[in-house]
Structure 1
Amino acid sequence: MNPFDIPLPVLLSQLMLGLVNGCFYAVLSLGLSVIFGLLNVINFAHGAFFMTGALVAWMGAQYLGLDYWAMLALAPLAAGLLGAALERGLLSRIYKLDHLYGLLLTLGLTLVIEGLGRSAYGVSGMPFDGPALLAGATRLPFMVLPNYRAWVVVASLAACTATWFAIERTRVGALLRAGTENARLVETFGVNVPLMVTLTYAFGAALAAFAGVLAAPITQVSPLMGQPMIVTVFAIVVIGGMGSIAGSVVTGLVLGVVEGLTKLWYPEASATVVFVIMALVLLARPNGLFGGSANK
């Protein structure tokens, strides 16, 4: 399709769709980068936490009658508690081993979590209603903007900004970074480093669940909804630079838009464009575009 023949409303609508997907990528890759950058763990269970957030939100609405706003707070909390339990019970035992052990363990956890969800609810998508406050759309001079999608963009950017500020500009973030470099030194100042590590992993899991709740009204809830996301998110983290917080956010947003435009101009390539870009980036810059410098 010739890009100059595309009507402006269609182009802008596709840009908005790509930006919304990019926001999901940004929040997910941010949590993944926080866990890798501070804990040095390749967390393949991140997609399962994304699914857990959406599924817990659906369960809260279905069984307890809780609304969207309540589950936007409670579902990440539940996923964070699950993440803390898994970190203390399993991951804490393999930190001194090769990265491959962490990847295999979190991959196994993913299969267990998804298997439990599939056994309970099957694989069919289940609808989850968004808030009535954000129903409908706003008519702009150049396009019709769905209110909920606009909220997703605002909420995602706010979460990313707050996370970056907490890690890069606060005393807690400084202690986290110092604890991963020299845990014994930090412990001499009375800091409980194992607790900080557990809370960091729990926070990363909560970020993934937060993205899952945001996605639930747009994509139907399914125990398998995290599978396609996590593969793309890993590619985004590699492109931005493993452990780079700024790289994850910027790359996620940009590649979401690129993927959306590719669907418009050349749909057959939309599923692979991110991986083609990853291959090109690795050839030119093996450490990623941001080189992991954001949290050093």
Structure 2
Amino acid sequence: MVTILGVPLQALLGQLLVGAINGGFYALLSLGIAIIFGMLHIINFAHGALYMMGAFMAWILLNYFGLNFWFALVIAPIVVGLVGIVLERTLLSRLYNQDHLYNLLLTFGLGLIIVGLFRIGFGGSGKPYSPPEALMGALNLGFMFLPVYRGFVLAVALVSCLVVWLVIERTRLGAYLRAATENAEIVEAFGINVPLLIALTYGGGVALAGFAGVLAAPIYSVYPNMGHDLMIIVFALVVIGGLGSIFGAIVTGFSLGIIEGLTKVFYPEASTTVVFVLMAVVLLVKPAGLFGKEA
């Protein structure tokens, strides 16, 4: 049997794949945070609650309306995005001329309120959500049996991140979004509705969280606090990649998922802290993050 540093090659490859799948969730969530901060300069602490909302929307659509996973994958992110637009127009937009700390405190409070409402409405226990029949079973990769659904999640995360990056960096809509955040007055002079663009940016960022929540529902049980622990890691990843860096969020999300997986193989005790150690090192060497721009 082939081993690397005493670890069987099959176990190593299997953990690499598991890490890449976890990295897909990290990338989707950190991408949404990076978009919102990069475009609107809002540190969105409500992101974990909206990720949870996406998972709950999938569960509600199935149990109350009979709509399966495929419908939820489309409907839930739209609903979460609309909730985000309402929050941005009614609350966040009032604080744009204030210190960023106020937006941080507001989104932190909104996250607590959303989680509290779902706990009151559905209780604190986990609720099961099965993957669609078409994605059940496992593939024999030789070195491991990969659940089909987890492979689907990895593929969808990769494609979604690529599409979002292309839209923001390579399309006219993305150019308008970037310009509106740099100099709103000039963009408005060209007849573009800047408040609408800002609302759509926030809505699109949180819709990514809702999308990730739907993907997570069949893997993890659906419960109100499901976004709490995950978001601590995701915010660390965003800092490592560089606050506001779209490319950094994607690369760091997948990379740190793999690094975390490798740590579980070679030094399991450090698997829960390796991300924060890396964050500390990066901040010491490059305070703006690996792909961030210096102020």
TM range (shorter): over 0.9
Q: Which residue of 1 aligns with 2:174?
A: 173
Distance 1:224 1:123 in 2: 8
Q: Choose 97-106 or 2-11, whichever is displaced more.
A: 2-11
Q: Which amino acid aligns with 1:148?
A: Y
Q: Choose 262-271 or 205-214, whichever is displaced more.
A: 262-271
| Superposition map of 1:70-89 within 5 A | 70-89=71-90
Q: Which residue of 1 aligns with 2:164?
A: 163
| Superposition map of 1:51-66 within 5 A | 51-66=52-67
Distance 2:121 2:168 in 1: 37
Q: Which residue of 2 aligns with 1:26?
A: 27
Q: Is the 8 A contact 1:80 1:206 kept in 2?
A: yes
Q: Tell me the CA shift for residue 174 of structure 1.
A: 0.4
| Superposition map of 1:203-282 within 5 A | 203-282=204-283
| Superposition map of 1:1-16 within 5 A | 3-16=4-17
Secondary structure of 2:146's match? strand
Q: Which amino acid aligns with 1:9?
A: Q
Q: Which amino acid aligns with 2:39?
A: L
Return the TM-score normalized by structure 1: 0.96
Unaligned segments of structure 2, at least 5 residues: none
Q: Is the 8 A contact 1:31 1:204 kept in 2?
A: yes
Q: Tell me the CA shift for residue 278 of structure 1.
A: 0.2
| Superposition map of 1:114-129 within 5 A | 114-129=115-130
Q: Is the 8 A contact 1:19 1:257 kept in 2?
A: yes
1:198-226: CA deviation from partner (whole Å, max 9, x where unpaired)? 00000001000101111111111111000
Q: Tell me the CA shift for residue 3 of structure 1.
A: 4.9
Distance 1:244 1:205 in 2: 16
| 1:46 to 2:47 alignment | yes
Secondary structure of 2:5's match? helix
Distance 1:137 1:168 in 2: 36
Distance 1:231 1:292 in 2: 23
Q: Tell me the CA shift for residue 11 of structure 1.
A: 1.5
Q: Which residue of 2 aligns with 1:190?
A: 191
Q: Which amino acid aligns with 1:107?
A: F
| Superposition map of 1:99-110 within 5 A | 99-110=100-111
Secondary structure of 1:145's match? strand
Distance 2:287 2:4 in 1: 32
Q: Which amino acid aligns with 2:70?
A: W
Q: Which amino acid aligns with 2:255?
A: V
1:14-33: CA deviation from partner (whole Å, max 9, x where unpaired)? 11111111000000000000
Distance 2:25 2:162 in 1: 14
Unaligned segments of structure 1, at least 5 residues: none
Distance 1:146 1:266 in 2: 25
User: Identity of paired residues, percent?
Assistant: 58
Aligned residue pair count: 293
Distance 1:9 1:137 in 2: 16
Q: Is the 8 A contact 1:239 1:288 kept in 2?
A: yes
Q: Is the 8 A contact 2:14 2:143 kept in 1?
A: no
Distance 1:174 1:269 in 2: 42
Distance 2:141 2:273 in 1: 33
